[in-house]
Amino acid sequence: MLTYSFTGITDNLYEHLYKCIRDDVLSGSLPADYKLPSKRSFAKNLSVSTITVENAYNQLMSEGFIYSLPRKGFYVSEIFPGEYPAPETESSDKTTHTQLSSSSSDSDYGGTGHSTSYRVDFSSNNTSPDSFPFTTWAKLTRRILSDSRDKLMTNSPSNGTIELRLAIAEYLKEFRGIYTSPDNIIVGAGTEYLYTILLQLLGGGMTYAIEKPGYRKLSMILDTVGIKSVDIPVDDKGLNVDILRRSNADIVHVTPSHHFPTGITMPVKRRYELLKWAQEADTPRYIIEDDYDSEFRLTGRPIPPLFGMDSSHVIYMNTFTKSLTSTIRISYMVLPDELVARYRDRLSFYSCTVSNFEQLTLAAFISEGYFEKHINRMRTAYRRKRDCILDAIKKSPLDSISEIKEENAGLHFIINLKTGLSDEEVTSRLRKVNINLLPLSYYGSETTHSFLINYSSVPMDDINNIIESISEELNSDS
């Protein structure tokens, strides 16, 4: 039977086992469709508990390294892309309409848009005041205002203070398995701002591919600055790489850890297909990996980023607007070396858009371990919030007409509603009672009756009443 040594390990047991199997799948030692031992016999053989094997298998499944067949067991997935059919010219246009980008400006995606006065806004990622670490933040701010005056008064380099970039590099190494120099990191006032910088860096002549459904803001930005984009459909494994290949895109934006808004985690096979797309062309191609809420995977290990698999074709982006609060505008990107050089040449005349005061406070917050603690506490709080909402739904009449789709990741899940009402009717009925619930179709999906529940700002003490209201509105006659 398959066996691994557990001597001298520093990870916990399940993580170790997960890594052993993952590495063997990646190296090809475990071929596609290889049947893994049953959990029980494997546990016995390795002298670990069944739970350990179960956790490792679950993690591997969620990342797409293995799959299960009911009553049969666990098998190794086919990971590496085979040969692809030559590009077809017909039918590819079907997917390239720019419908999304020209649509409305009532931009509630990710809650970074307007402030609203809904009783509850399931599309918003506003943070509740209870969850921000005010005491620690105040303490660090006070200390920096008193001890770091020279640093506070010295202009930050264009890409951010060295203190913050060092802290981010260290964090990425510890928690995302990304080994990068602080030189490759660019700090800016929010992801949207970094996109506008990235568009200038990559040049206006490129064609951008965007997940559909996907991140509306990026379409809006591209549209505003007059850059061409094509929509690429997302299937149950994430962005469809065949269609991407048949498009003429040079750059693709993806959310592989937790697709927005459907919540899909891109399996490893698809990841390799995507990387192959970036590598196979003669002209430069880049993947923008938006890792916007990877910190909030609620169970298991975080999904490893694409950037760790190919740091010369992937631009990694992440933000503190999700993990800390959307009202602190600090995001960052990690550039491949070639783009770092280009940034230095062409764009380093731009001043950094984040004030030194917040850069230095955040740097201390991360490097002194507060950020990790905060994330852990938030993860627990969000898990509780999610469970509480799921529980409220289960106990309400809503339960009989709803189905939940969620992947233990990020700050939102999807609810499918069996109702005769159209998506628009659902949204407008609920807005009448000050509840904002947006359908996936709002984000460009062709799926109907699926709605996004972002629970980060939901007031928990009111959750039963809110679910009650939703249920009443959907069941009423008018």
Binding to a second copy in span 355-414, by CB under 8 A: 355-358
Number of residues forming the site for a second copy (CB under 8 A): 65
Which residues make Cβ contacts (< 8 Å) with residue 457, sequence separation at least 6?
111, 120, 121, 124, 125, 126, 127, 128
Nearer residue to a second copy within complex by CB, 168 or 221:
221
- Encode burial over 414-434: b for 16+ CB neighbours within 10 A, e otherwise: bbbbeeeeebeebbebbeeee
Binding to a second copy in span 338-357, by CB under 8 A: 344-357
Task: Establish if 136 lies at the interface with a second copy (CB under 8 A).
Answer: no
Identify which range of 42-50, 141-149, 238-246, 282-290 contacts a second copy by CB under 8 A.
141-149
Q: For a second copy, what does the binding mask look like between residues 316 and 335, x meaning CB under 8 A?
A: ---------xxxxxx-----
Nearer residue to a second copy within complex by CB, 10 or 135:
135
Nearer residue to a second copy within complex by CB, 230 or 330:
330
32, 51, 99, 138: which one contacts a second copy (CB under 8 A)?
138
Residue 9, SS3 per DSSP: coil
Q: Count the neighbouring beta carbons within 10 Å of the beta carbon of residue 237.
A: 17
Nearer residue to a second copy within complex by CB, 51 or 225:
225
Nearer residue to a second copy within complex by CB, 202 or 275:
202
Min CB(383)–a second copy separation in Å: 20
| Strand 185-188 versus strand 331-334 pairing type | antiparallel
Residue 59, SS3 per DSSP: helix
Nearer residue to a second copy within complex by CB, 134 or 179:
134
Min CB(293)–a second copy separation in Å: 16
Min CB(99)–a second copy separation in Å: 13
H or E stretch covering 273: helix 268-280
Identify which range of 49-57, 109-117, 378-386, 408-416 contacts a second copy by CB under 8 A.
109-117
Give the span between the Cα atoms of 120 and 462, in whole angstroms. Answer: 9
Eight-state DSSP code of residue 217: H
Binding to a second copy in span 62-101, by CB under 8 A: 89, 101
Region of 463 (left: φ > 0; alpha: ψ -120 to 50; beta: rest) is alpha
Cα–Cα distances (Å) from 49 to 14, 39, 78, 228, 300, in that order, read: 9, 9, 28, 54, 16
Nearer residue to a second copy within complex by CB, 150 or 236:
150
The answer to whether residues 379 and 296 touch, using CB atoms and an 8 Å cutoff, is yes
Min CB(111)–a second copy separation in Å: 6
Min CB(122)–a second copy separation in Å: 15
Give the span between the Cα atoms of 170 and 179, in whole angstroms. Answer: 8
Give the span between the Cα atoms of 263 and 238, in whole angstroms. Answer: 9
Nearer residue to a second copy within complex by CB, 51 or 145:
145
Task: Establish if 132 lies at the interface with a second copy (CB under 8 A).
Answer: yes
145, 376, 395, 424: which one contacts a second copy (CB under 8 A)?
145
Min CB(59)–a second copy separation in Å: 33
Burial of 85 (C-beta count, 10 Å sphere; 0-12/13-18/19+): exposed
Residue 118, SS3 per DSSP: coil
User: Quick one: which of 226, 214, 298 has its CA closest to 256?
Assistant: 214
Nearer residue to a second copy within complex by CB, 461 or 477:
461
Q: For a second copy, what does the binding mask look like between residues 150 and 169, x meaning CB under 8 A?
A: x-xxxxxxx-----------
Give the span between the Cα atoms of 357 and 354, in whole angstroms. Answer: 8
Which residues make Cβ contacts (< 8 Å) with residue 431, sequence separation at least 6?
118
Identify which range of 29-37, 64-72, 224-232, 370-378 contacts a second copy by CB under 8 A.
224-232
Nearer residue to a second copy within complex by CB, 35 or 344:
344
Nearer residue to a second copy within complex by CB, 241 or 317:
317
| Strand 331-334 versus strand 402-405 pairing type | unpaired
Is the peptide bond between 302 and the residue preceding it cis, with omega within 30 degrees of 0? no
Binding to a second copy in span 179-218, by CB under 8 A: 189-190, 192-193, 196, 200, 204, 217
Min CB(394)–a second copy separation in Å: 29
Residues of this chain that bind a second copy (CB under 8 A): 89, 101-102, 105, 107, 111-115, 124, 126-129, 132, 134, 137-138, 141-142, 145-146, 149-150, 152-158, 189-190, 192-193, 196, 200, 204, 217, 220, 224-226, 325-330, 344-358
